[in-house]
């Protein structure tokens, strides 16, 4: 029976366990470049035992970033920094993964922990601000609320240009050494806004029916599939529910995942649509609230699945893998809080040698020269080791 620490093979890639670090935006880039910060931050999670490590979502165009402080993959100058990160993740025993995205209506922003010097939080900059730009969308419908500047409706020619940008970004990811590629179609970003009737009011072949609203997603997937090697996984993070009666419904996601499977999708990463702040019965404080949807996709569509959102309790994460509900557990905030979460989880679950998840040199040292029970800052293991 598979468990949280069993290996997982998808296509030609094998993860050492079922634990992945989810992409988390850090607002630490200049000109879209990754630097020593990213090398430190992501290398620490790989050395801490994660099987799959994502940097933050990387933008396929400059205007696809959340802010000017976010990472990109739209220029060849960004490849060396990405390559350093991928190399470090690989050296530390994890699989380097990359998430391609475009923030659409939620771009031209500022880091969420900054203000406008008056104590008021500012989320989005005006298009004429030196660090701002005009955001794009399937329709000229602003997100609303904290993102309320006018947006530009994409023409069909501009849509085709985005497909080329996706494909070129995938080529750069391959050149940089990444072995797992995910396309971000959730969280109110561009792919999600095409998918949701809240933001997509088009009357051409990209709007209306669920088949039309998913056309952008599938054609972008096709563009990447043409250049991304078959031996490496190609996955999608799909927003499957807007929690709003006028938005995405889960049946839409089932239809679209079925179609994506026919176009080369290898795994579905299930998340929220977040195309509006008007969320009814928000689930954010519920443990594992995406698991039931992910499990249904796995069962009915016969597609491997991953998900995130409140899965940071080791016993629960292990249970999900043992039950076969999902194939990979993705952790965001738990990974930020504890770069050695897998080692901690292994101890909590009673594995005999949790330090074997660390790089060989210090894992060996911690396993063999413990000294006093609490001298290295870890409580003594009292659980019975599993056979």
79: in domain: yes
pLDDT at residue number 123: 83
What is the DSSP secondary structure assignment for residue 372, as one 8-state letter? S
CATH number of the domain bearing residue 32:
3.20.20.70
CA of 284: how far to CAs of 111, 281, 310, 360, in Å? 21, 9, 8, 38
pLDDT at residue number 383: 47
374: in domain: no
What tens digit of pLDDT does each residue of 53-64 get?
999 999 999 999
**380 — pLDDT class (breaks 50, 70, 90):** low
pLDDT at residue number 372: 61
What tens digit of pLDDT does each residue of 247-292 get?
999 999 999 999 999 999 999 999 999 999 999 998 999 999 999 9
Nearest to 298 by CA among 272, 266, 252: 266
364: in domain: no
pLDDT at 151 over 50: yes
Residues of the chain with pLDDT > 70: what percent? 93
CA of 103: how far to CAs of 70, 72, 108, 169, 187, in Å? 11, 11, 9, 15, 9
What tens digit of pLDDT does each residue of 16-63 get?
999 999 999 999 999 999 999 999 999 999 999 999 999 999 999 999
What is the DSSP secondary structure assignment for residue 235, as one 8-state letter? E
189 is catalytic: yes
User: What is the pLDDT averaged over residues 142-163?
Assistant: 94
User: What is the pLDDT averaged over residues 157-161?
Assistant: 98
pLDDT at residue number 117: 52
pLDDT at residue number 260: 98
Cβ–Cβ contacts within 10 Å for residue 318, how many? 20
107-116, 193-202, 366-375: least confidently modelled range: 366-375
pLDDT at residue number 193: 98
pLDDT at residue number 384: 46
CA of 152: how far to CAs of 141, 155, 177, 199, 351, in Å? 8, 9, 34, 12, 54
pLDDT at 382 over 90: no
334: three-class secondary structure by DSSP: helix
pLDDT at 203 over 80: yes
The catalytic residue among 41, 189, 206, 351 is 189
Give the Cα separation of 84 and 79 in Å (integer).
Answer: 9
**121 — pLDDT class (breaks 50, 70, 90):** low
**385 — pLDDT class (breaks 50, 70, 90):** very low
280: in domain: yes
Give the Cα separation of 340 and 334 in Å (integer).
Answer: 10
169: in domain: yes
pLDDT at residue number 82: 98
Q: Which pTM does this prediction carry? A: 0.94
pLDDT at 305 over 80: yes
Q: State the total domains in the chain.
A: 1
**386 — pLDDT class (breaks 50, 70, 90):** very low
173: in domain: yes
Owning domain of residue 153: 8-354
What tens digit of pLDDT does each residue of 65-84 get?
999 999 999 999 999 999 99
pLDDT at 373 over 80: no
SS3 content of the chain, % helix, strand, coil (to 5): 35, 15, 50
> What is the CA angle 217-179-64, rounded to 5?
40
30: in domain: yes
pLDDT at 116 over 70: no
């Amino acid at each position: 029976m598979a468990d949280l620490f069993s290996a997982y093979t998808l296509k030609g890639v094998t993860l050492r366990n079922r634990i992945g670090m989810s992409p988390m935006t850090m607002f630490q880039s200049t000109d879209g470049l990754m630097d020593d910060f990213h090398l430190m931050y992501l290398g620490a999670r790989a050395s801490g035992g994660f099987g799959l490590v994502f940097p933050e979502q990387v933008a396929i165009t400059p205007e696809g970033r959340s802010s000017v402080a976010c990472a990109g993959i739209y220029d060849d100058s960004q490849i060396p920094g990405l390559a350093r990160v991928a190399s470090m993740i690989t050296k530390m025993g994890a699989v380097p993964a990359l998430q391609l995205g475009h923030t659409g209506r939620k771009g031209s922003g500022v880091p969420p922990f900054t203000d406008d010097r008056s104590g008021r939080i500012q989320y989005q900059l005006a298009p004429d601000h030196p660090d701002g730009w005009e955001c794009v969308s399937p329709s000229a419908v602003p997100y609303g609320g904290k993102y309320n500047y006018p947006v530009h409706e994409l023409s069909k020619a501009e849509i085709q240009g985005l497909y080329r940008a996706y494909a070129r970004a995938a080529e750069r990811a391959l050149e940089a050494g990444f072995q797992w590629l995910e396309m971000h179609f959730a969280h109110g970003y561009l792919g999600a806004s095409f998918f949701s009737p809240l933001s997509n009011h088009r009357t051409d072949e990209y709007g209306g029916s669920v088949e039309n609203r998913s056309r952008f997603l599938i054609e972008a997937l096709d563009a990447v599939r043409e250049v991304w090697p078959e031996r490496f996984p190609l996955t999608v993070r799909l927003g499957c529910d807007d929690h709003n009666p006028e938005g995405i419904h889960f049946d839409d996601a089932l239809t679209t995942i079925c179609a994506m499977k026919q176009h080369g999708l290898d795994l579905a990463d299930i998340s929220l649509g977040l195309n509006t702040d008007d969320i009814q019965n928000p689930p954010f404080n519920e443990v594992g609230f995406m698991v039931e949807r992910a499990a249904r996709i796995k069962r009915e569509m016969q597609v491997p699945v991953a998900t995130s959102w409140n899965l940071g309790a080791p016993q629960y994460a292990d249970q999900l893998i043992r039950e076969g509900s999902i194939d990979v557990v993705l952790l965001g905030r738990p990974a930020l809080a504890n770069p050695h979460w897998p080692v901690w989880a292994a101890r909590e679950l009673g594995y005999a040698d949790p330090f074997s998840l660390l790089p060989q040199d210090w894992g060996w040292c911690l396993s063999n020269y413990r000294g006093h029970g609490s001298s290295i800052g870890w409580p003594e293991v009292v659980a019975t080791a599993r056979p």
